Structure 1
C-alpha cells in the first residue's frame, strides 16, 4: 500500500514536470538580423556556441531557443521563422531532435538562397532502434562529434562568405583543438574511476558513455519530460543498489523534483549533469560556455564514480 502511494506521488510529480517544461515553449528569440555580417540562425545552444567560435567578428549568430528554455518541445514563432528565412545560414541538429524543421524547410520558397546545415551529418550517431533509422540526437555530448559538427558549420560559413575563408579555417582549428583537449581530459579522468555506471534523470548521455566506457540508466527517455512507468522507477532503484551508486544526476532546465524524490527513497544524493541543451540565464550572464560546463560535468562524474 505504501509502495502504491509512492508510485502515485511520483506520477503526479512527472505530470507537474511536463506542465512546467511546457510553460517555456512559447518563448521566442529577441535577437535581430544585422546588415554587413553573415547572419546565422541556430536551432539551440551548442550550435550557437560553435557558430560564434568559428564565425568570430564576421558572423551574427542568433540562437532560437532563449536562455532557460528546454528545447525538446520548443517550436518557432513568426519572428523566428522570419529570421530563419532571411538569414544566410540556418543550422539545426538533425537526427530527430527538432520536430519542426521539416515543416520549416518545406515552407521555403524555391528561390531561397538560405544555406541549410544539418550539424549532426557525418557524426558517429547511435541508433535507438535496430529496425528503423532512428537515432539518439544528443551527439554534441561527445566532444569528438562536436568537432565534426563544428566542421559542418565552418564549411557552410565558407560557402556563404568565401572572402573570410582563412579566418573561419583558423577559428575552427583553434576551437577543434579545445574540443580535442576536452576529450583527452575526459578519457584520462574517467579512465581512472572505480565505478563505470551512472543514474540519470534524462537519457541524454549515451554518446558520453560510449566514448568513455560508462553505462547509464535513466528515469525518463530521450525527451526529458517523458513519463516513466512504475517498472522504470523500480528498475532505477535496483540499479542504484546493485551498483552501489551514491548519486542520481539531474539537469537544470527541467524540474528536479522526481530525481530528488527517487534519491530520497534510494538514500542517495543528487548532482547536476548538464546535457547542454541550453544555458540558464545565470550561466549565460556568468559567461559559461560549452567547454566550461562540460568540464563541470567531468568534475561531477569523477565525484560520483569514486
Structure 2
C-alpha cells in the first residue's frame, strides 16, 4: 500500500518562494556581473575599445576583444564562436562602420547594453586630398568606413578619445550600478591622463619646421586637425586600398614642395607602398602607429606608450624646435 504524505500548503508555498528568490538573486548577479566569476562581461570590437574597458572597468570587468593581436581590424571576419560569445555579453563596445563584420554581428546579438563609440564624439571626414579613398575595392564590398566618408580613427585624438571614455564609463555604470562609484573614479583618472597627453602633443608639435606628413593610410586626420598638421595618406582610410599612379606622383610633388623628410608606415599593414614612395623621392621611413592593435613589433605596450612614440617620431620627422 502506497502512503502519500501530504505537505502542508504553507510549507510548500514557502519552499517555492524561497527557491524563486534564490534563482532571481543568482540570475541578477550573473546578469550584472557577467556570469559565475561575478565580473561584467564586456566584448570590445578592437584594441582602442578594449583599452577603455580595461582602464575603466579594472577588476570589475572581464574584457574580450573580437580582434586578436596582429589582425588588421578593418578586414576582421567573425567566427561562429565569437558570434555566440557576443550574444552572451553584458556590454558591447564597438565603432560602427570601421568593421563591417562586427556591425552585422552586433546588430544580431540582442545585447541590451551596446555602445557605439562614434555616437560619443564628433566624427569628421578626413582623407587623401585628390585621392579616391576606395580605389582598389569594388563598390559595395563593405569598405565604407563611415557615413559620407567620415574618419573613424577618433582614438588618435586624445580629446575625442576622452569624450568616448566618458560615454563608456557611463555605460558601465548603467550596466553594473553596484560598482558605479569605481567606474566614475576610473573614468576621471583616465580622462585626466588623456588631458595630459593632449598637452604633451600640443606643446611638442607647436614649433616644427614642417607641418605635412605622409603616412600609409589616412588614419591620422583627427590628430592632424587637433595639432595643426597636414596629413597626406598614400591610401584612404582603408589601409588595403591601392593608390593610383597619379596619387603617387602627386605625393612626390607634395614631398618636394613641403620639404617632407619622412614617409610613415605602420605595424599591421604592408609597408610596400610607403617604402616605394620613399625610395622614389629619397625620403626616410619611420613608424606612425594607428593603434588599431598591438603586437610584439609595436613601439610600446599600451595606448599611452605608443602614442608617445608617435609623438616622438612626428617631432623628428617634422623638425621640432
Query: Which TM-score band (shorter chain)?
Result: 0.7 to 0.9
What CA deviation, in whole Å up to 9, does each residue of 1:153-202 have, x standing for no partner?
A: 11111111000001000001001000000000000010111211101111
Q: What is the CA–CA distance in structure 1 between the aligned matches of 2:207 and 2:316, rounded to whole Å?
A: 12
For the pair 1:127 / 2:125, whether they are aligned, the reply is: yes
For the pair 1:53 / 2:49, whether they are aligned, the reply is: no
**In 2, are the aligned partners of 1:86 and 1:114 still within 8 Å (CA)?**
no
What CA deviation, in whole Å up to 9, does each residue of 1:55-84 have, x standing for no partner?
A: 010000111111111100112111111111
**In 2, are the aligned partners of 1:85 and 1:114 still within 8 Å (CA)?**
no
SS of the aligned residue for 2:214 comes to strand
Cα–Cα, structure 1 residues 282 and 241, in superposed 2: closer, same or farther, change >3 Å?
closer
CA drift at 1:113: 4.6
What CA deviation, in whole Å up to 9, does each residue of 1:192-229 have, x standing for no partner?
A: 11211101111110000000000011111111010110
Cα–Cα, structure 1 residues 33 and 270, in superposed 2: closer, same or farther, change >3 Å?
farther
Q: What is the CA–CA distance in structure 2 between the aligned matches of 1:143 and 1:235, rounded to whole Å?
A: 31
**In 1, are the aligned partners of 2:50 and 2:64 still within 8 Å (CA)?**
yes
SS of the aligned residue for 1:72 comes to helix
Tell me the residue number matched to 2:85: 83
SS of the aligned residue for 2:235 comes to coil
Alignment of 1:185-204 (within 5 A): 185-204=200-219
When normalised by structure 2's length, the TM-score is 0.79
When normalised by structure 1's length, the TM-score is 0.83
SS of the aligned residue for 2:208 comes to coil
For the pair 1:298 / 2:311, whether they are aligned, the reply is: yes
Tell me the residue number matched to 1:116: 114
Q: What is the CA–CA distance in structure 1 between the aligned matches of 2:301 and 2:148, rounded to whole Å?
A: 35
Alignment of 1:165-204 (within 5 A): 165-204=180-219
Tell me the residue number matched to 2:138: none
Length, aligned pairs only:
267
Alignment of 1:1-306 (within 5 A): 35-94=37-96, 96-108=97-109, 112-127=110-125, 133-283=148-298, 288-306=301-319
SS of the aligned residue for 1:201 comes to strand
Q: What is the CA–CA distance in structure 2 between the aligned matches of 1:256 and 1:250, rounded to whole Å?
A: 6
Q: What is the CA–CA distance in structure 1 between the aligned matches of 2:309 and 2:270, rounded to whole Å?
A: 20
Q: What is the CA–CA distance in structure 1 between the aligned matches of 2:246 and 2:187, rounded to whole Å?
A: 46
**In 2, are the aligned partners of 1:67 and 1:279 still within 8 Å (CA)?**
yes
SS of the aligned residue for 2:54 comes to helix
Task: Indicate the structure whose relative CO is greater, using CA pairs within 8 Å and at least 6 residues apart.
Answer: 1
SS of the aligned residue for 1:120 comes to helix
Q: What is the CA–CA distance in structure 2 between the aligned matches of 1:299 and 1:78, rounded to whole Å?
A: 41
Q: What is the CA–CA distance in structure 1 between the aligned matches of 2:302 and 2:71, rounded to whole Å?
A: 16
Q: What is the CA–CA distance in structure 2 between the aligned matches of 1:297 and 1:34, rounded to whole Å?
A: 41
What 5-or-longer segments of structure 2 have no aligned partner?
1-33, 128-146
Query: In terms of Rg, which structure is larger?
Result: 2
